[in-house]
Structure formats: structure tokens, C-alpha cells
Amino acid sequence: MSTLVILCGGLSSRFGADKSLCEFEKKPLSLYQYERLSEGFKASGIRCKVYLCLKDTTYPLLESKDLESKSINFIVESEVLKKDFLDSITTDTNATTTHIKRSTHSPLYGIYASLLALQTPCVFMSVDTPFLSMATLQKLLDSKKEAFIKTPLRDHFLPSKWELSSLDSIKQSLIKGDYKLGLLLKSLKFEYINIKDEAEFFNMNTEASYKEALKLHAKTKGGTHGR
């Protein structure tokens, strides 16, 4: 059984609101991504368990009517971190609270919390890439080593595959405040997988790119994106 974690704990500062909750296919983006990929793996006969990684228990989707009669796998970063990582670097309750509020928006926290909680290698992706294909994710899931994606124009550090052996390195980076994902991947000698299609890595960073994504989705619905 493989594992895919969709990271939903970003700050969304350029977007102006929590983009994981913006509407996509008449449902929150995080739920759309979860269902799209869970159903896609099942239809393809791929044994992969999908998780949504949330920053904390205040995430609105946890109590949403959209989840009625649905079974969703969640990882809550703050719950894992306060039990392990934050307690290990400080015994000051106030410092811990401040640290949680200030720092948990880095994807490294979600990666660390998920690996620690699940105790299995995981492929991680950002919630704001709605066109990421099943084929690309399958290549990462099948990879025998830690890996990220390289396209003709750039390196993509999400999605990427991480092993449990990197837990200590992630922890040390977080302790030092080194949140740059690319630097850590390269220091750990991640391999890369070549993908030619740039379009599937379209990222919704702003409200304008969100509107563009909706237009692209309308045009490509029933086509190859996300398949």
C-alpha cells in the first residue's frame, strides 16, 4: 500500500484567503483533490491511501456538511508536532504556542508530521495543483528512492517522495529555521524524475491564477488533466 499526502497547511498569503477551501467542482479544493485522487487510484487498481494534512483542528472542513457520510483520512500537523517536535525543542509553553502559530505554514512541517504519524514513505503534493496527473504521481509512488520532479523549465520540489530516513534531517532544518524545501532535497541527494508536461504543475498562488485554473478546468474537463 502506497501513501499520498495532500498538504493543506500553507499560509496562502498571496491568495488572500485559505486557497485549500476555495470552491472547485462545487466543493472545497482540498475535498476535490482528495476525492479526485482517491477515486482515480481505485479506478486504476492502484493501492494508495490518500490523506489530507491540515495545519490544526480549526480547519473548517473538519466540521463541514461536505463530509457527511464520507470517510476522509486526516493528519493534523499541530497535534503531531506538539506531541513530538515542539516538546523536544522547548519546555516553555508560551514559546511552544508562539512557535506553532508562527512557523507551521512551511510544507516541511507537514512533511515531518506526516512521516512521523504514518511511519511509512510518502509522496507529498500541494493542494493547489489541481491538474497534477495520476501518471506523474504513480512515477513518484513507484520510485525506489526519494525523488522530486524536473520539467524542461524548472524543478518542482512538490510533489516529491520522502523516506523515513529523512526525518532527522527535516527536524534539524526546522530547528534551525531552514524552511527552503529545495535546499534540503538537494542536500539529501534526492533523485529527479523527468516530466515533459509543464501544464499539469499549474499552481494557484493568487486569486487571478485561481480564476485561470477554473477556466482551464472547464476547457480540459473530460480530457487528460488529472488522469
Q: What pLDDT does residue 77 have?
A: 87
User: pLDDT digit string (tens) for 99-109?
Assistant: 444 455 789 99
User: pLDDT digit string (tens) for 8-66?
Assistant: 977 666 676 788 999 999 999 999 999 999 999 999 999 999 999 998 888 887 776 66
Which positions ≥6 away from 193 have C-beta within 8 Å? Answer: 136, 139, 140, 143, 147, 148, 149, 150
Q: What pLDDT does residue 96 have?
A: 46
Q: Mean pLDDT score of the chain, rounded to an integer?
A: 86
Confidence of residue 226 (pLDDT cuts 50, 70, 90): very low
Q: What pLDDT does residue 13 have?
A: 63
- Cell numbers given for 63: 466540521
CA distance 46 to 180: 32
CA distance 80 to 114: 8
This prediction's pTM: 0.88
